[in-house]
Each structure stands twice: as structure tokens, then as C-alpha cells.
Structure 1
Amino acid sequence: MKDPVFFLWQNNQRWKTGFFIFTVLMLFVFFAWAETVETNRPAANSTYRAVPPHKSLAASPQFVLIDDFNLPEWKNKRGGIWHLRNATAKVVKVGRTKEDARNPKFGSSLQLLFDLPKSKEMSFTSSLQKLDASQADLLVFSCKFYPDRKKPFSGSLRVVLEDWRAKRAVVDVTASCAGEKIWNEITLRKDDFRDLDWDQLNSISFVLVSGAQPARGGMQFDEIAFYGPNDVFFESNLDNLKGFPKTIFAEARRLQLLKIKEDKALMREIAKDTWKYFEAAQNKQNGMIVDHVRLGDAPLASNYTSPTNIAMDLMGLVAAEKMRLISSEEAVRRTREKLKVVENLRRWKNLYYNFYETTKLSVTRGFISSVDNGWLGVALVVVRQAFDQELYREATKILNRMDFSEFLDYDNNQLSLGFDSEKNELIQTHYGMLVSEARATSLLGIGKGDLTEDHWWSLYRTPPTSWSWQSQKPKGKQIDNGHVYYFQGYYQYGSMKIVPSWGGSLFEFLMPTLILDEKEKAQESFGTNNYRAVQAHKDYALIKQGYPVWGLSPAATTNGRTWKYGEYGVKDVGVKGYPDQAVVTPHVSFLALNAAPQDAIANVRKMLEFKMYGEYGFYDSIQVKTNKMNTQYLALDQGMSFLALANYLEGDILQKLFHQDPIGKAALELWKKERFFEE
């Protein structure tokens, strides 16, 4: 029989030995797991630490994310396409691997496997779409670089930034990225990229150079972003502007306006506030008005403009001078400066591209819009009449070289939406409806002699009755005017006959009245039609839908941290009919001052009861069911509001200036033949 004491001692020793072995094994497993986790976890001093690993860097305003490679498409977050340039490489495999630099459970990264002959290079490049990163401090990204260990690597891995001048700055990251097991977080200071203009960056590239020996191996990249201490994208664009609102809501001013009883006094005060956009939201170097600014939790300051925005600005200077908000001398000086900029903008056949970046004035897209060029042409007519002694020659020079027949589709005698210079083709979609914002462009082209009068009669009053997809079957009759055989059709809204627009938005009906005196000179067509459109909108919103205010039209609305431009209307007065999402925009109430002034003013007064007023006047839209508003200003909508107010307050001054020009007089002759509702 064994000694019981010895037996207990012996079993205790075995237990201790087993426990020791178990502990060692568990520690081994733990450290192995920890190493794996650390591979995907930012260091304690990581730039990425401000954003939780399960969230995108785009969630933080401190980052301007270029790419995290989590989506299947080869397009970065700024819209640029990634291109591989590797003509000399034997083998290059590019793909996404399910190994994210920040989140081990989700996401992916870019992986390139290479086999490069000696003294050669390959690059992976993407456009930054003229990004303004001037307020960024760092370029950050994560990387791994693992050349074949059997062959010594004598080359280099570089990151290259290129600015708008095609000037390149190169930083070697070979040693910083070396290693296959762990992600290396690279932080490159702005000073590392010497002599670059960070106001406009064109591209980013990762370049591999093989050196004296062939290079074979792999590399990975992830979480490429520009980083700064504040809202980088906003601050980078903001520093280009002349000014920006200091507060989101101008509550004291709104309450002050509510107390004003006299209509014209109220409209004049709102006009003063609305004009502030054009004083402040312009590039401080060249004076170009920017497309929009936005306030609130996700502020924005855009860095591009369009011919229509420029037109609003030019006519705004005329209106501001007539309203005595600026002196005649200042109006002429500022208009001359802007015309010089317009004169030097890059053009296609002397017609202007749809968007220009406002810092360096480069073209952002190779599309040329017919209606945008039309509004610029209209503004030039107004300018040369308003400042005929000082600027007639400059405005006429630009106007005369614009040829609107370039937009004409000779198959149907209608204007195309525009020309795609990259594809070298006219867009096969047209401004086919007579009741649209494009009718001002048509009249301008006819007045200049670029288009014939037959073009006017080739526009649809309504589509033919055989087009069954339209919102209602039109009534009317065929007309033969001796040149063109057309259908003089109309829709029905209640007891009212109305010639519809495409979408049923008030903007389509009323924007041309900024410069066209349709109320007095086209009473039997547009004058009556515009009034009825306002009444239809008023009835639809207030009576049928029970909204507190009316005015459905394209507007900017909130979309998370950003925004979207939506099209809204009353379907019953639109051929296709834009949707109604209870989004009301103030600018159409000001446009309606011409057609139905008392209705418009009553609506403006009602809108003042909502907290949607800022330093530059009314914000762009409000969802009247939820009271959710977009605290944003658009140059187009601010321009339409201000010009409409100027006409109301100063005796339709812009209409008079346009019609005293030979181009504007041509419209009067056409209108004499137009009868919308003649039985």
C-alpha cells in the first residue's frame, strides 16, 4: 500500500506541472491572437484613432477620404478612376483582398502583385478631381510592402502628388511600408511635398521603381486620406471665399421682418439680405460666384460655378445698382472685372462649359449646356443695355461669338440639352416643351439670328394626344401658321385650361419672367398661363394637400451629411410630372411676384413664420410635413429671388432692359402670333 502522504504530494506535483503547461499554451495563443489583432489596429498615437474602426474615415470631417477600397468599383471617393500603368511589367495582378487596415471584421484593401524587370517602373494612379486640400496637414495611408526575399530589392516605392500645373512632388516610402505581417501607417506632412499648390490637386500615384535588379513581390494600400485638425474639406474651400455667414439662423432679423406691414418695405429688406450672398459667396481672387454654401453640422463651401450662376451675378449687379445697394461706379467696375474673367474662360466653339472650378477656373467636365449658355447670353444683353456707355462693347463681343445653332437638332428643330465634348456628340435629349426655363434661350437664339422662327413653332405646347404616357390626355387643335403645322394643346386643372411644363414645377413656368415681360406683352399666352400655374400650385398645396405654404420646384434638400438636388412639382400641370415630397422652396414665391403679386407676398409672409431664415435670406427648402429644412443657399435660387425682387421693386427693370435691346424686341413679334386658348 502506497504512503498516502507521498501519493498526495505526487498528484499535486503532476497537477502543478499540467497547470504550468496549460498556462504557457494559453499565453502563446493569447500573444498570437494579440499580434493578429494589432495587425489591424491603429497604434495609440494613430491619426486614425479619432474614428472607430467599424466606421469609415468619411464619418469624420477631419478626413477627406480618397479611398478605402471597400467598394467593388475602381473609382475613388472623389470620383476619380484608378489606372494601372505597367507596360514593362511581366506580371501584375491587381485586386482587393479581404484584409482591412483598420477593421479586421469588415472591409478590404488594395493588393498589387508585381514582377518588374530591372530599371523599370509601374504606377497605380487616380485623379483627385481638382481637390482643394489647402487646410489639410497630412496625407495618411496604410501600406504593406513585401518584395521577394530571395532577390534583394534595390528599387523604391514612392507616393506622388500632382497639382493643377502638372507639377509633381515625390516622397519615398520604401522603408516606411516594408513588411508583410503588420500594417504600416504612413503620415506625410504637407512640407514633404515641396512646391505643390494644395488649392488644387490633380492626382495621386503609388509608383514602384525596380532599380538595378528585377523586382518581384507584393504591396497593399488602404485608408488613403488627407487629414487636418478641423473640417478639412470645408475649411479648404472656405479660405477661398470673400465671406461666410457667422450664424445659422438670423432669428432677430426674422422677427423684425414679421413686424413690417407694408409689402414693398418688407420685400426690400428681404432683397437686401438676399443680395449678401453675391457680396460674400465669391472667390476672393477672381470674383467668381460659387454654386452654393451650406451651414449647420456639415457645412459646405463649394468651389465651382456655372454660366447660369455667372448670369445671376451679372444681372444681380445691374439690379443692385438700380436698387441703390451699390453705386453705379462700383457696379460698372465689378461687372467689367467679371466680364474679363468670362472672356478668358476656356470655351468650346465660343460656348461655355457647364462647370468651372472657381479657384483656378479650370473646366470640371466636358459638357456644354444649351440653357446655361442661354442665361449667360441673356445676362450679356441686360448688361450692355444697363451700362451701354461703359460696357456695351465688352458684353457684345462675348455675346456675338456665341452661336446657339450649335445646340440645334435639325431632325426636330429643337435644342438639345447640350454637347458632350468628350464623346464629341450632341445629347439626344431635348428642351422640347415651350413652357420651360429654356424658352428664354430659344428667344435669345432667334433674336440673334442663330435660330429661325420655325424653331419656336417646333416646340410642344403639349405632346401629341397619341403619347399615352403623359399625365393627362391634352385637348386642343392643329394649327397651320404657314410655316409649321403644330398642335396647340392644353391640359385641364379643375376648370382652368393650362399649357403644361415638363415637370409641373413653378420654376419652369416663371423663371423666364425675370427678363421677359410676358404678363403685359403676352397676355393671351404666357401671361395668362403663368397666373394659372401659380393658382394651380396654390390650390394643390393649400387645399388638396393641406400644406401651410405653396411652391413646389427643384431645390436642394438634406441627405445625411451632404445634400441632393431634387425636382418637385404638381403632376397635374406637368407632362411627365415631378414628384411631390412636401418640399417647398421660397424662390418660386419671389418668381411669382410678377404673375400674382398678392398671392406671392402672402406666401412669403407665411414662410417667415418658419425658422428658415439666415443672414442671406430664406434657406433653399423646407419639408413642410416634418419642418426639416436644408440650411443651404444656392446661387441660382438666390439669383432668381433677388432679380424677381428687383423687378417687383423697380418697375420690372430687367424686363425693360432686355426688351429695349433688338434681341428682346424679336420676342414681341413672336408673341403677337401666340394664342394658347383660342377656340
Structure 2
Amino acid sequence: MRLRPLAAAAAAAALLLTGATTASAGGRHHDDLGLSRHDRADLKRWGHDTWTSFVAMTDETTGLPADNIDASLDPATRSGYTSPTNIGAYLWSTISAEELGIIGKREARQRMKQTLATLATMERHEPSGMFYNWYDEATAAKLTVFPTGETIYPFLSSVDNGWMAAALMVVRTAEPSLRRQADALLEPMNFAAFYDPAANGGIPGRAGLLRGGFWAAPPAGTSTPGTVDGTPVWFTNNHYDITNSEPRIASYIGIARGQIPPAHYYATARTFPASCDWDWLEQRPVGVTRTYEGIEVFEGAFTYRGMHIVPTWGGDMFEELMPDLFVPESEWAPKSWGVNHPLAVRAHIEHGMVEAGYGYWGFSPASDPFASYAVYGVDAIGMDPTGYPSDAEKTNVDAGYEGCRPATNPTPTFGDGVVTPHASFLALPYAPREAVQNLRNIETVLGAYGDGGFYDSVAVRSNTQADRYLSLDQGMVLGALGNVLGGGVLHESFGTRQVEKVLRPLIGQEEFSAGVIK
């Protein structure tokens, strides 16, 4: 169905913008979001339908979810592959579904028990205890060829194993009867396998960085030979070197479990230095230098619409807020994440509703309405010089680098904006009314909704819909609802006293250069 979305959504714009211009610095408690009974009913209904997509994606024998499924929810359209992230998303979504009353305790326990039992049989990299990146969801076998025929070089990803470990940490706390099963899977996972102490800029004594991962055998592309516990591996050439991105979940877990030094958190960059050596960035950062854990940190921020914001790599909601599903960052770090998260949400709202004029907002990597998969974001608050665009035309913003090079595209004209519903769910703790209204418009005006909940993305001007469901994105939806409507179940289950004792003082001491410009 093709509707005319912009005119129909115009009446909601004023409501959305009221909240966008007054977003507070810091999230609110889960029971203090100001949601009406109608809001909660819609959120519960959306959660119920989202769970329906997980049931359809999950193999009945293995208990493993497929990576994706078509909007028809026909099991024959399951992708034929899954990942540690997808499996983790199914586990924490099961916890949320039980907490929301979508399924009963017995069903939730049985589903998780089945999945954990399958995980125990799956091939892993024994020296590190980590899971490979791709498995067949119907057989649980490690894949070496995708269903398309493309060769897979077996890879171990730091961030994907981070999401798996996060899910196991949630399960072991939320369902004590499964603690032994979850612990048996979690305990061998050693995030030190990804940690490179030499990636420290040549500064003696400075903490290192996480690698993207490693291959268990020589891959086709470039890599760096090394060892994990004496076993040869081939490391990625990249390290995760910025703070505001999804790999921080692996950092949090490695630090909390004593496998990575706490100072590693401050070895990553808030932005790169404000120097002409870094003028490939799309704008020059502002900020001051502070010292934490013996490390000098440039507290850099980008400037956007009257705000200073610590950017993600792509300016997307996934990098900014997915780790916040597990670590209550705004509560534990009120002067850093407690300021930045609501401002990033405000930036998404103002970009979609004002700057680009889409009538909708919320941009994050997702299924591409015109192809298979693509990255979307608010380019002006992303560090990627090629940009995570907010539209199908891939419009790139470049404000120039003050004192070093001129702007190339400071005030672009945006085209067919692509919004991703899971971004609005992630934003719920910081702009609840605005998020609910945005989602209502996506459902009722655009019609980007099916039996399994919101379709993965929609290009709003042409109303071209990516009519499929992804485990990862559906997991963000149910994870957010588990926190917002389920009493913070993921926060409480992940952020145990032991985890809080390590992480809260570490991240709580920091002060970002983020804030509203006065």
C-alpha cells in the first residue's frame, strides 16, 4: 500500500518538536516516563507482534533464530544462517517477553533451555571460548558457505561475542534455574583474546584497544598473524578506537570480568584530536582534555543545532543506545552518557522533523528498502567521513574543518529519508512521548507494519518498505520494551552488584564536553 506520508504526518510534527527542543540531560527511571495507558497498550501490542516474528524466525528443533525472515513470516523464507548476536537477541527477547506477559514463565524457560542446550553443542574456538560468526540455524553447524554460495572464512568477532555474553549474563540472573547452563557457556569466553595492549599509540603504560576479531585460518584478505593462548590466529588489521560505538559492550564485559584492564575504557577516543592532521573529519571538534585512570582524554564533541554531542562513527541510534540496553549508562555516568544520550535522541528528532523535513525520525543500520542492507544515521553527528546518510540518495554532509579546509556540503537538500523503527524504541527512555507518536505514524500513516510488528525500515517520501524482520533489530525492540515496561529487566539482570561495583565508578567519573550551547 502506498500512502502520502508527509501531509498526514504534519499534524504530529508540533507535538514531536515540543519534546525535541526540551529534552532533559539524563534518562528517567523506567516507571517515570509519563506514558499514558494508551501509550502502554500500544507498546505492549507492538511487543506482542514483534515476539511473533521471533517465533517465526526460530527453528523448532535447535531453538536458534534465523538472521532474518520475510514479512510473510513463512518459515521457508528464513535466512538459513544465524550469528552470536542473533542468538543473544533471541535470549534477551525471551526474558523481555516473559516480563511483559507475552509468554508464560514455563514457555520462556523451555525456550531458553533449548537454545542453551544447542549452544553447548556448537563448535567454538576452544582457546578463546568464543563463538564463530555464522551458523546454520536449522542444524547449529558452523558455516563455511552462505546459502548464496559465498565462501565464509570462519571468523570470531569481538562485538558479536559481546552481545552473546551480554545475553548469557542476563539469562543467568533473570532465570536462576538456567544459571548453570548459562555459566557453562559464559565462563570460557575470554575477551582478552581480542585485547591488543600494543595498540596504545606508542605510549608506554597506556592501555590498549580491542581488535575487531580474528580468523581461525588464513582469510582471503589482509590480516595480522598472531596467537591466542599459543594457538595461531589471524587478527583483523582494525581496532575499535572510538568510545561511542557498539563495541563498548565487549569492553564493558571484558572489564567487568577482569579480562581487560579498566583503563582500556579511556584509551578509546571521544573524538579524534582537533588538529589539521585530522581534517578528514566532517567538522572540527570542540572540547577540553581531562585525565582519568592516568590517561589524558580529549573530551571532544561535535556541534549540531545548538548542541555539543559526542559523536558515534555513523551518527546512528544503534551505536549510541544499544549498549545502554544493558549497562544503565545514564544512571551510572550522569555527566557523560546521561548528557549525551538525550541530546543524540534530540538530534535525530530535529534532523528528521526540521532539518530534513521528513516528518519522521530515527535512523540506524537496517534492511535497505531498495536492496538488502544499508547504514543510516544523522551524518552531522557521525565521524565517518563518507557519512551514514539519512536518505536513500546517500546525501553527505560536510561542514568543513575550521582553520584547515573549507566545507564541501554544509547545507544539503535531503531526499527520501529512511527511518528505522527500532531506533525509536531505543529512544523511549529519553523521548517517550515523541517515540510513541513517531511509531504510531509509521504504523498508521505509512503502513509499515505487519503480523511480526514494524517492518525493518521505510523510505518515507516514496513509502518504500523493507518488508522483512531482522533478529538483531527485533531484539532491540523487545530489549527496550523489557526495560521500559518490564521494570528495567535487562538493566537489573545485567547490572548486578558485581558488575556495578566495577563499571559504575569507572564510567561515572567522566565528564563529556556534551551539552546545550548557551
Q: How does 1:112-127 map to 2 (within 5 A)?
A: none
Shift of 1:301: 2.2
> 1: CA distance between counterparts of 2:42 and 2:333?
29
| Alpha carbons 2:330, 2:336 under 8 Å: kept | no
Q: Which amino acid aligns with 2:86?
A: N
- Provide, for residues 431-457 of structure 1, a one-character-per-residue CA deviation record: whole Å limited to 9, x for no partner: 211111111211111000110011101
Whether 1:397 aligns to 2:184 is yes
| 1:601 aligned residue | 436
Q: Which amino acid aligns with 1:588?
A: A
| 1:578 aligned residue | 388
SS at match of 1:610: coil
> 1: CA distance between counterparts of 2:189 and 2:37?
46
Q: How does 1:294-373 map to 2 (within 5 A)?
A: 294-295=70-71, 300-348=77-125, 349=127, 350-364=129-143, 365=152, 366-373=154-161
| 1:383 aligned residue | 171
Shift of 1:506: 1.0
- Provide, for residues 390-421 of structure 1, a one-character-per-residue CA deviation record: whole Å limited to 9, x for no partner: 11122112111100011112222111111122
> 2: CA distance between counterparts of 1:568 and 1:454?
31
| Alpha carbons 1:646, 1:653 under 8 Å: kept | yes
TM-score normalised by length of structure 2:
0.77
- Provide, for residues 245-297 of structure 1, a one-character-per-residue CA deviation record: whole Å limited to 9, x for no partner: xx9xxxxxxxxxxxx9711111111111111112221112211100101147x
> 1: CA distance between counterparts of 2:81 and 2:256?
30
Q: How does 1:276-291 map to 2 (within 5 A)?
A: 276-291=52-67
Structure 1: which 5+ runs fail to align?
1-246, 248-259
Alignment CA distance shift 1:433-1:620 (3 Å): same
| Alpha carbons 1:513, 1:594 under 8 Å: kept | no
> 2: CA distance between counterparts of 1:678 and 1:505?
17
| Alpha carbons 1:500, 1:573 under 8 Å: kept | yes
Q: Which amino acid aligns with 1:448?
A: R
- Provide, for residues 319-341 of structure 1, a one-character-per-residue CA deviation record: whole Å limited to 9, x for no partner: 11111222222222221111111
Aligned match for 2:349, one of 538, 542, 566: 538
Q: How does 1:55-454 map to 2 (within 5 A)?
A: 262-295=38-71, 300-348=77-125, 349=127, 350-364=129-143, 365=152, 366-388=154-176, 390-412=177-199, 413-423=208-218, 424-454=233-263
| Alpha carbons 1:506, 1:551 under 8 Å: kept | yes
SS at match of 1:330: helix
Specify which structure has the higher proportion of strand.
1
- Provide, for residues 218-256 of structure 1, a one-character-per-residue CA deviation record: whole Å limited to 9, x for no partner: xxxxxxxxxxxxxxxxxxxxxxxxxxxxx9xxxxxxxxx
Shift of 1:300: 3.5
Q: Which has the larger radius of gyration?
A: 1
| Alpha carbons 2:334, 2:508 under 8 Å: kept | no
Q: Which amino acid aligns with 2:213?
A: G
> 2: CA distance between counterparts of 1:460 and 1:426?
21
| 1:641 aligned residue | 477
Shift of 1:521: 2.4
Q: Single out whichever of 461-470 and 664-673 deviates more from structure 2.
A: 664-673
Aligned residues: 418
SS at match of 2:69: strand
Q: Which amino acid aligns with 2:350?
A: D
Shift of 1:587: 0.5
Identity of aligned residues (%): 38
SS at match of 1:319: helix
Aligned match for 1:612, one of 448, 454, 460: 448
> 2: CA distance between counterparts of 1:330 and 1:406?
36
| Alpha carbons 2:271, 2:298 under 8 Å: kept | yes
Q: Which amino acid aligns with 2:357?
A: G
> 1: CA distance between counterparts of 2:365 and 2:435?
18
| 1:12 aligned residue | none
> 2: CA distance between counterparts of 1:456 and 1:330?
39
| 2:227 aligned residue | none
- Provide, for residues 564-598 of structure 1, a one-character-per-residue CA deviation record: whole Å limited to 9, x for no partner: 21011111111113123221110100010122212
Q: Which amino acid aligns with 1:573?
A: I
- Provide, for residues 67-86 of structure 1, a one-character-per-residue CA deviation record: whole Å limited to 9, x for no partner: xxxxxxxxxxxxxxxxxxxx
Q: Which amino acid aligns with 1:596?
A: A
SS at match of 1:604: helix
> 2: CA distance between counterparts of 1:631 and 1:482?
47
| 1:474 aligned residue | 285
Q: Single out whichever of 365-374 and 411-420 deviates more from structure 2.
A: 411-420
Alignment CA distance shift 1:471-1:360 (3 Å): same
TM-score normalised by length of structure 1:
0.59
| Alpha carbons 1:658, 1:664 under 8 Å: kept | no
| Alpha carbons 1:519, 1:594 under 8 Å: kept | no
Shift of 1:316: 1.3
| Alpha carbons 2:379, 2:388 under 8 Å: kept | yes
Alignment CA distance shift 1:482-1:385 (3 Å): closer
Alignment CA distance shift 1:505-1:428 (3 Å): same
Alignment CA distance shift 1:341-1:665 (3 Å): farther
SS at match of 1:477: strand
> 1: CA distance between counterparts of 2:441 and 2:198?
48
Q: Which amino acid aligns with 2:67?
A: D
| 1:592 aligned residue | 427
> 2: CA distance between counterparts of 1:665 and 1:600?
32
| 1:493 aligned residue | 304
| Alpha carbons 2:288, 2:300 under 8 Å: kept | yes
| 2:317 aligned residue | 506
Alignment CA distance shift 1:377-1:649 (3 Å): same
> 1: CA distance between counterparts of 2:501 and 2:114?
28
Shift of 1:664: 4.4
> 2: CA distance between counterparts of 1:372 and 1:307?
6
Q: Which amino acid aligns with 2:438?
A: N
Which structure has more RCO (C-alpha within 8 Å, separation ≥ 6)? 2
Whether 1:654 aligns to 2:433 is no
| 2:413 aligned residue | none
> 1: CA distance between counterparts of 2:353 and 2:93?
32
Q: Which amino acid aligns with 1:319?
A: S
> 2: CA distance between counterparts of 1:300 and 1:473?
46
| Alpha carbons 1:443, 1:666 under 8 Å: kept | no
Whether 1:671 aligns to 2:507 is yes
| Alpha carbons 1:507, 1:588 under 8 Å: kept | yes
> 2: CA distance between counterparts of 1:482 and 1:642?
36
> 2: CA distance between counterparts of 1:678 and 1:610?
34
Shift of 1:482: 4.7
Aligned match for 1:523, one of 334, 346, 353: 334
Q: Which amino acid aligns with 2:262?
A: E
| Alpha carbons 1:553, 1:569 under 8 Å: kept | yes
Q: Single out whichever of 398-407 and 409-418 deviates more from structure 2.
A: 409-418
SS at match of 2:336: helix
| 2:16 aligned residue | none
Whether 1:461 aligns to 2:270 is yes
| 2:376 aligned residue | 568
| Alpha carbons 1:447, 1:663 under 8 Å: kept | yes
SS at match of 2:87: helix
Shift of 1:654: 1.1
Shift of 1:471: 1.5
